[in-house]
C-alpha cells in the first residue's frame, strides 16, 4: 500500500515531540517514551537511528539526552523517513543501483518509475518538521503540474 512502516510513523511522532520542546533541556529516551506512549526500547532504537542520520545531537551520561541538530524548518519529512527506512525508492528500479531489477535493461517502464519516484520524493522533501509542528501554516499544497489542493485550516484534510 505504499505505506510507511509503523516505526517510521513513531519516528515522526518523536521528532515532533522533540521539536515542540525546543529551548527546554535535553529530552531523554525515557521522557519521550512517556510522552509518546511508546515502549522505551523502541523509542531508544529510533532515536539512535535518527542520531546516526545527523538529525539529532546526543549527550551521554546524567543529564544527557537528545536535541534537534537543525531547526525544524530545515529538516524534511524525506530525511526523517530515510533515517529510519533507508534511502527511499518507490521500486528497486529507481535506486540508481543497477542489477537489482531482474528485467534489467529491457524493462519498458524503468524510466517512468524514476519519474514517479522523483515526484514523490520531491513532495516529501518540501514538507518539513516545522510543517508537522504547525499544521495551520500549511493551508494549500500544489501537486504535480501545479494543481492546488485545498487543505482545511484546522489541519484536517477534507
Partner DNA sequence: ATCAAATTGTACTAAGTTAGTCCTGTATAG
Partner DNA sequence: CTATACAGGACTAACTTAGTACAATTTGAT
Q: Restricting to residues 99-158, which ones interact with DNA according to CB under 7 A? A: none
Site string for DNA, 7-46 (x = CB under 7 A): xx-x---------------xxxxx--------x-xx-xx-
- Cβ(81)–Cβ(4) below 8 Å: yes
Least spacing, CB of residue 42 vs DNA, in Å = 5
Least spacing, CB of residue 33 vs DNA, in Å = 9
Residue 53 touching DNA (CB under 7 A) = no
Q: How many CB atoms lie within 10 A of CB 54?
A: 12
Q: Helix, strand or coil for residue 67?
A: strand
- Contacts of residues 132-138 at CB distance under 8 Å and 24 or more positions apart, as own/partner, are 132/12, 132/15, 132/16, 132/19, 132/72, 132/77, 133/16, 133/19, 133/20, 133/72
| Residues with Cβ within 8 Å of residue 68, at least 6 apart in sequence | 15, 18, 19, 22, 55, 56, 57, 75, 129
Chain centroid offset of residue 131 CA: 12
Residue 67 interface partner, choices DNA, its own copies, none, CB cut-off 5-8 Å depending on type: none
CA 108/CA 148 separation, integer angstroms: 32
Residue 118 interface partner, choices DNA, its own copies, none, CB cut-off 5-8 Å depending on type: its own copies
Least spacing, CB of residue 62 vs its own copies, in Å = 28
**Binding residues vs its own copies (CB under 8 A):** 1-4, 6, 8-9, 12-13, 16-17, 20, 36-37, 77, 81, 85-93, 103, 107-109, 111-120, 122-127, 131-132, 135, 138, 141-147, 149, 151, 154-157
**Binding residues vs DNA (CB under 7 A):** 1, 5-8, 10, 26-30, 39, 41-42, 44-45, 47-48, 51-52, 58-66, 85
Amino acid at each position: 500500500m505504499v505505506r510507511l512502516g509503523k516505526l517510521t510513523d513513531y519516528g515522526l511522532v518523536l521528532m515532533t515531540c522533540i521539536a515542540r520542546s525546543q529551548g527546554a533541556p535535553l529530552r531523554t529516551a525515557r521522557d519521550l517514551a512517556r510522552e509518546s506512549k511508546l515502549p522505551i526500547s523502541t523509542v531508544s532504537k529510533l532515536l539512535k537511528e535518527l542520531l546516526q542520520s545527523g538529525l539529532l545531537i546526543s549527550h551521554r551520561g546524567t543529564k544527557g539526552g537528545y536535541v534537534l541538530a537543525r531547526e525544524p524548518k530545515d529538516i524534511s519529512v524525506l530525511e526523517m523517513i530515510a533515517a529510519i527506512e533507508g534511502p527511499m525508492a518507490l521500486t528497486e528500479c529507481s535506486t540508481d543501483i543497477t542489477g537489482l531489477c531482474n528485467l534489467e535493461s529491457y524493462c519498458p517502464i524503468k524510466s517512468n518509475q524514476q519519474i514517479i519516484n522523483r515526484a514523490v520524493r520531491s513532495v516529501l522533501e518540501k514538507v518539513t518538521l516545522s510543517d508537522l509542528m504547525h499544521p495551520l501554516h500549511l493551508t494549500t499544497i500544489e501537486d504535480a503540474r501545479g494543481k492546488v489542493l485545498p487543505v482545511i485550516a484546522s489541519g484536517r484534510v477534507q
